[in-house]
Structure 1
Amino acid sequence: MTPGPTTKFKSDKTDGNDDVIGGKKRIFYYYKDGVGDFHYGSQHPMKPQRISACHSLVLNYGLHNYMTCIEPPKASFEEMSQYHAPDYLEFWKEVTPENAHEYEYLFNKFNIGEDCPVFDGVYDFSSISCGGSIEGARSINAGLCDVAINWAGGLHHAKKSEASGFCYMNDIVIGIIELLKYHQRVLYIDIDIHHGDGVQEAFYWTDRVMTLSLHRFGNYFFPGTGEMTDIGKGNGKYYSVNLPLREGMDDESYADLFQPVVKAVIDHFDPNAIVLQCGADSLGSDRLGCFNLSIKGHGECVRYVKSLGIPFMMVGGGGYTLRNVARCWTYETSIVTEQDDVINNAIPDTTEYREFFAPEYTLCPDLPRRIENGNSKEYLNALKLETIENLKMLKQAPSVQMQDEDYFQHNFIEYIKKSKKNMQLKLTPPLY
């Protein structure tokens, strides 16, 4: 499917609300100052600084001029407890590297260790991640935006009472819970190289959320879940869609699988809103990955989802070669703002992170193909056929009473005005 120069969204209106958000396009971009300053540890592969590097590129390419930029509040304890267990949240609220020895008796219970260490500010970092996804979902609920972006989100491995895979609180699950307050059916799409196990687990028994994950599977690759036979249970049977892939996936193979499967999901499930997890560890040459996607190939997934005309939220996720994560999410921001054919491939001289992008100093360099593609056309066709057969088993999702849209608009229009003003004050003029 080749989208036109602009995409008409199902939520497009002519009620004057664009004036409330400064006449910007209906794209809300969530970023909180300081989110990149948190540190998992010197040897840990997860680097929150990648979010700040991406933000700098977004500003220096001028992409903020095509979005409404908002600094979201941190998620509250109560908001995060919509999914996470109170004792789990209390643990993270109280524990620090200095007093961690006092809480060691809980480490096994909450899966604390090398992958998910105790670091300074872990609760604040997680509440920032969740805050962006909550506010993005609420803005979609209110009909104020068609696309919400929270690159600090996407932490898809966290469970109700367990940290996992560098993830502590599951902003995606909490964001989807918000979307379900207004939308009957929500589709979750995960293009991280790792299976979106935490999100699947949260919605495994419901028919109101469909989870679709394309991921590396086999040879003990983390987290070891996401087989083709993992299709959901109870009311949720056939609402979990898994595409277990072998190493070496390239752009052509990925597009040939992604687009027809997503189209089939849309045709059978008919979602009212979408959450797209854009984990960048599926890029070629990722420190922890084993796929061969280019930045533009990864971005084609975003372009295709945008072309569907369904309101959606984009969140981050994995990605452990910092410079490529920043490149990827910036490029995908340019796609939704329809500036990808306008911006220069050269990294702007004005970004303080310029040296991160040496030696190419380009936004979309050629990424090394380290691994041969182990996914034959026959194998991928078999995945498609079995997925489509499973989708034919779907029953229509239930109709439920939703909150009135005016409720959301009344609460958020003034908030967005204030947040937009506050964020603009914090952006330094040279970055414009």
Structure 2
Amino acid sequence: MTSRNGFKRKVCYYYDAEIGNFYYGKKHPMKPHRIRMTHELVLMYGLYRKMEVYRPHKANEEEMSRFHSSEYIRTLRSLEPDNMHNFGPQINSFLAGEDCPIFNGMYEFCQISAGGSISGAIKLNKKATDIAINWAGGLHHAKKAEASGFCYVNDIVLGIIELLKYHQRVLYIDIDVHHGDGVEEAFYITDRVMTVSFHKFGKNFFPETGDLKDIGAERGKHYAINVPLNDGIDDLSFESIFQPVVSKVIETYRPNVIVLQCGADSLTGDRLGVFNLTLKGHGKCLEFVKGFDIPLLILGGGGYTKKNVARCWTYETAIALNTDLPNDLPQNDYFEYYAPDFKLHISPSNAFNQNPYQNLEKIKATIFENLRSIPHAPSVQMRDIPNNFTLIKHDNDDDSDIDMDDDDGGDDPEVRISQQRSDRHILPDNELSDSEDEGDGRRDDSCHLISQPTQPKKPKVEQQPMVVVATNAGAATAADDLSQSPSSTTTTNPLSSALMHTTTSSSSSSSSSTTSSSTTTTTTNGLAVNLTSPEAATNV
């Protein structure tokens, strides 16, 4: 694809065929199968030919513990429907309510979702792509030690932590109908990440957070922006507030990279949503953000009318690729889902728009006033950038961990990577053709990970040159501790809410000195965090 400045932009896309097999439960609105439906349309429209398709690595416990508590991740890893009674009252603090059920393969589902977002962030850090897409990501409600709103592991926070290794300022934009509370909370007291959420706000609408007056705290004051909206907002009204706010934010904050959460529950007709956006209105948000030519990580999110989610994310994959799609849907394994019209685009309902022009103008004025309170492009200090390309070692892998580089396979040409390990990151033939449904003939929960069909219905991978080996199999080290300006009277970490409990030690070949840090504990919005302040830092 080509940017507005005439430069060719590279797009990579992350998908694991197993993602569609996971099942929250018969009556649960969250259906991971929607991601398989999206991928099917991506294939049938031929979009895969215009981008690099990767199978993400599965995030391991260490990677997920960069934000989440180790005890919480260990519990997720151990929990299964058959043994949940062994955990007693402890489980209630981690998985409260019916929104986040315990289902077969729950931990592996989290690994795939988080792995795609981390892998995409690493690609962007390496400047190996301009746009990275992970529709299995965008689970923005998960907290440090608590599952919330169908979300168990916050892949967005993990991806942003990875991006912060190389980028001074990260902008997070959320167009899900629900407030991105988990991401906002994680970065509430830092100026390294600005969060902007456009969402329905009101009593009895989950999560009941995201008021206009919630603007961040401490060094993060005015770096949390909330755009509370009412029911029925349509394409024109949404565009009238989205574009001015995002333009002003980018002008003021000057982010080095953008993370866009494209929750599809803001579409008209969603089972849980209350907005009235069409695919064109929703997609205009992505098109507008993409137009700034800033590295972009695109993630999924909510969306509970499966056929519309698949339509939306396919359409937005095409937008990322600067490709026009015909409105007639191509034949695919789920063609009957799109009856009766079998069209790509959807029409808005006749719902009343409860967002008058005057209210939207007041919201914009308040946000612009808050933005005037922050310095343009705040400078930061960072420690030396750690290594970040390590092939994740599996339990059944006898090879030792080997650092791998996207370009040449590693720093040491004498070190060889086994074929078995390399094959794990090649998209196999049958992953481009799996078509199992979750309808009446669906497998039961106990066998949800049955192997895929051996006879694909689509062309084999070797006939598709865009499918390549994905060597960015995850980050090797824990996230950096980042310090404040030396002129400050205190040495608390501005990213403390994201880097909760990570301790990193670094050494230089030219010096034997050791970096030490002091740690205190504080609580923000009920979230206990560690504040680590390295005494040695270098300017970036």
Normalising to structure 1: TM-score of the pair? 0.91
In the TM superposition, residue 106 of structure 1 has moved relative to its aligned partner by 1.7
Pick which of 106-115 and 126-135 moved more: 106-115
Name the one with the larger helix percent: 1
Which residue in 1 is equivalent to 2:342? 361
Supply the distance in 1 between the matched residues of 2:178 and 2:255 (Cα, whole angstroms): 24
Q: Please point out which of 319, 326, 330 is paired with 2:310.
A: 326
In the TM superposition, residue 367 of structure 1 has moved relative to its aligned partner by 3.8
RMSD: 2.2
Which residue in 1 is equivalent to 2:380? 399
Pick which of 25-34 and 248-257 moved more: 25-34
Q: Contact 1:27–1:68 (CA<8 Å) still a contact in 2?
A: yes
1:80 correspondence with 2:57: no
Query: Which stretches of structure 1, 4 residues or longer, exceed 4 Å deviation after superposition?
Result: 402-410, 414-421
Supply the distance in 2 between the matched residues of 1:199 and 1:191 (Cα, whole angstroms): 13
Which residue in 1 is equivalent to 2:329? 347
| Amino acid corresponding to residue 6 of structure 1 in structure 2 | S
Supply the distance in 1 between the matched residues of 2:426 and 2:41 (Cα, whole angstroms): 20
Q: Contact 2:187–2:220 (CA<8 Å) still a contact in 1?
A: yes
Q: Please point out which of 363, 372, 381 is paired with 2:361.
A: 381
| Amino acid corresponding to residue 359 of structure 1 in structure 2 | P
Supply the distance in 2 between the matched residues of 1:419 and 1:202 (Cα, whole angstroms): 36
Identity percentage of aligned residues:
50
Supply the distance in 2 between the matched residues of 1:111 and 1:406 (Cα, whole angstroms): 34
Question: Structure 1 residues 421, 38: CA separation in 2 closer, same or farther (over 3 Å shift)?
Answer: closer
Instruction: Provide structure 2 residue ranges, at least 5 long, that are not aligned to the other structure.
Output: 390-402, 411-420, 434-455, 460-540
| Amino acid corresponding to residue 344 of structure 1 in structure 2 | P
Question: Structure 1 residues 407, 217: CA separation in 2 closer, same or farther (over 3 Å shift)?
Answer: closer
| Amino acid corresponding to residue 91 of structure 1 in structure 2 | T
Q: Please point out which of 3, 6, 12 is paired with 1:6.
A: 3
Q: Contact 2:135–2:313 (CA<8 Å) still a contact in 1?
A: yes
1:241 correspondence with 2:225: yes
Supply the distance in 2 between the matched residues of 1:421 and 1:230 (Cα, whole angstroms): 42
Q: Contact 2:283–2:315 (CA<8 Å) still a contact in 1?
A: yes
Q: Contact 1:57–1:330 (CA<8 Å) still a contact in 2?
A: yes
CA displacement 1:144-168 (0-9 Å, x = unmatched): 0010000000000000000000000
Q: Please point out which of 278, 282, 295 is paired with 1:294.
A: 278
Which residue in 2 is equivalent to 1:124? 108
Which residue in 2 is equivalent to 1:229? 213
1:431 correspondence with 2:426: no
Pick which of 78-87 and 404-413 moved more: 404-413
Supply the distance in 2 between the matched residues of 1:200 and 1:328 (Cα, whole angstroms): 25
Supply the distance in 2 between the matched residues of 1:361 and 1:390 (Cα, whole angstroms): 45
Which residue in 2 is equivalent to 1:211? 195
Q: Contact 1:72–1:419 (CA<8 Å) still a contact in 2?
A: no
Report which of the two structures shows the higher radius of gyration computed on alpha carbons: 2
In the TM superposition, residue 418 of structure 1 has moved relative to its aligned partner by 5.5
Q: Please point out which of 74, 84, 92 is paired with 1:100.
A: 84
CA displacement 1:384-417 (0-9 Å, x = unmatched): 1110110011124233336669976962335799
Supply the distance in 2 between the matched residues of 1:203 and 1:236 (Cα, whole angstroms): 7
Q: Contact 2:267–2:282 (CA<8 Å) still a contact in 1?
A: yes
Instruction: Provide structure 1 residue ranges, at least 5 long, that are not aligned to the other structure.
Output: 14-24
Supply the distance in 2 between the matched residues of 1:372 and 1:363 (Cα, whole angstroms): 24
Supply the distance in 2 between the matched residues of 1:424 and 1:344 (Cα, whole angstroms): 29
Q: Contact 2:55–2:425 (CA<8 Å) still a contact in 1?
A: no
Which residue in 1 is equivalent to 2:426? 422
Q: Please point out which of 150, 172, 183 is paired with 2:134.
A: 150
Supply the distance in 1 between the matched residues of 2:87 and 2:428 (Cα, whole angstroms): 41
Count of aligned residue pairs for this structure pair: 412
Question: Structure 1 residues 332, 121: CA separation in 2 closer, same or farther (over 3 Å shift)?
Answer: same
Question: Structure 1 residues 169, 415: CA separation in 2 closer, same or farther (over 3 Å shift)?
Answer: farther
Q: Contact 1:68–1:420 (CA<8 Å) still a contact in 2?
A: no
3-state DSSP class of the match of 2:194? strand
In the TM superposition, residue 91 of structure 1 has moved relative to its aligned partner by 0.7
In the TM superposition, residue 344 of structure 1 has moved relative to its aligned partner by 1.6
3-state DSSP class of the match of 1:411? coil
Q: Please point out which of 378, 393, 405 is paired with 1:411.
A: 405
Supply the distance in 1 between the matched residues of 2:241 and 2:119 (Cα, whole angstroms): 32
Which residue in 2 is equivalent to 1:175? 159
Supply the distance in 1 between the matched residues of 2:117 and 2:172 (Cα, whole angstroms): 13
Which residue in 1 is equivalent to 2:518? none
Normalising to structure 2: TM-score of the pair? 0.73
Q: Contact 2:210–2:228 (CA<8 Å) still a contact in 1?
A: yes
Question: Structure 1 residues 231, 319: CA separation in 2 closer, same or farther (over 3 Å shift)?
Answer: same
Pick which of 98-107 and 135-144 moved more: 98-107
In the TM superposition, residue 5 of structure 1 has moved relative to its aligned partner by 6.8
